[in-house]
Structure 1
């Protein structure tokens, strides 16, 4: 059997161990060599795989798949990334899935005990993959500003500036300003406040927006 990398074969071995209830052990765990044994001393299970430089894949070279031991699995292979690999879609489509509900689903489906902390890290990891981290989000603000400049020639865009000088929009604006706010749900919580106006063609024009922790007089 051929795999793209050691990570892929380890994931397969973890699934196999959970399904069949065997405790495996990485005797050698290198980037180009992998030797896996059964934790039971008398068991003859043995898997050896290595990297093939010419074929550019990770291959199983030898395998003794039979076990002489009884099912006695302890979730040593299972970590938050393994949980995430099986529940990413559920976390995406069930935004209200709680940590405890996720833990109960893992126990019910796979028959193994996992901790609350493992499930919490799995959900956090899945949401980072789905939505990206907060650092990645805020890093895109500069690209957002550049895209506004590109798509709106002549528009002034200033980052990290609290006061914005009057622009050409003021010359043809309608004398009305709409103010509203909405709550942000996710890892970046708070409230989004926005002030909007209309130009001479009745097009909505964002005057200013800000993310605040609470909607009060000062904000």
Structure 2
């Protein structure tokens, strides 16, 4: 055997098994366990080995990468690359339980990696929907008591924040709807006063920043002029949440000595200018 033959002095079936999966009839052997039958002494012998493997592969279907979003699997199917196989498997929409053992003899562990903050937030989202101010100490006790695994304070905090975000939605997305909300109020309540003030400049996304909002419905105006006492009371309170501000309200007194709402406004601070 000359030097040119060194490049093909190996078992061709073993090489194919590494690249394309285990070929039927091929058995792995160590590097020093080659017999005389394993050697390739000429190009013809090498070609004949490749042809035999190709005939073996032709017996099984080959996956078409163009159909990866609607894959059809068959027994013995070949995939050209690992990526094609993984992409096709990700599109599977059904799973089947092939084996289940309900009774375990192994020792219990309280460190469960799958019980992460995202899973906990989804499981206890209903709890924060009814009690959004649930304390971290009480929440951790509830989780540990029910699922029997350890939960850190940081993990519980992240789970609570994610649950609240899913319940309340992103504040940025809600502020985007203010223009539509103001326009709908004007259309459905003719005569009402709806003032939406935005900053003059725009941000990087070409959007204007919210400044303040004032709303007074026409029905409230007419009711105040028709029967309320000529007294107007004003008050303000702080808004809590990711976007803070001040809620200003104006109320009157009706003939039954009850509070009668007149108007309200959302501003950044309680100043004389905003009250005017």
TM range (shorter): 0.5 to 0.7
Q: Does 1:95 find its partner at 2:152?
A: no
Q: Once the 2 structures are TM-superposed, how far is the Cα of residue 31 of structure 1 from its aligned partner?
A: 6.5
Note if 1:114 corresponds to 2:114.
no
- Identify the residue that residue 124 of structure 1 maps to in structure 2: 161
- Where do 1:175-186 residues align within 5 Å? 176-186=231-241
Unpaired stretches in structure 1, ≥5 consecutive residues: 1-28, 35-49, 52-56
1:209 counterpart = 2:253 = no
Larger RCO, structures 1/2 (Cα 8 Å, 6+ apart): 1
TM-superposed CA distance for 1:133, in Å, is 1.9
Report deviation, 1:145.
Answer: 0.1
> Normalized per residue, which structure has more strand?
1
Q: 1:141-152 alignment to 2 at 5 Å?
A: 141-152=178-189
SS of match in other structure, 1:209: strand
1:41-82 C-alpha deviation (Å, 9 max, x unpaired): xxxxxxxxx72xxxxx4122x623349872454321121121
Give the 3 Å change call, closer, same or farther, for CA 109–30 of structure 1 in structure 2.
farther
| Matched residue count | 162
Partner of 2:248: 193
- TM-score w.r.t. the length of structure 1 is 0.56
The root-mean-square deviation of aligned C-alpha atoms, in Å, is: 4.0
**Unaligned segments of structure 2, at least 5 residues:** 1-84, 199-211, 254-259
- The structure with more helix, counted as a fraction of residues: 2
Give 1:2-151 correspondences, 5 Å limit.
Answer: 33=89, 51=92, 57-60=93-96, 63-66=98-101, 70-71=106-107, 73=109, 74-151=111-188
State the SS of the aligned residue for 1:105.
helix
| CA distance in structure 1 between the aligned counterparts of 2:161 and 2:155, rounded to whole angstroms | 10
Cα distance in structure 2, aligned partners of 1:84 and 1:64: 29
TM-score (norm 2): 0.46
Deviation at 1:159, TM superposition (A): 1.9
In 1: Cα distance, 2:104 partner to 2:235 partner: 68
User: Whole-Å Cα distance in 2 between the matches of residues 110 and 90 of structure 1?
Assistant: 15
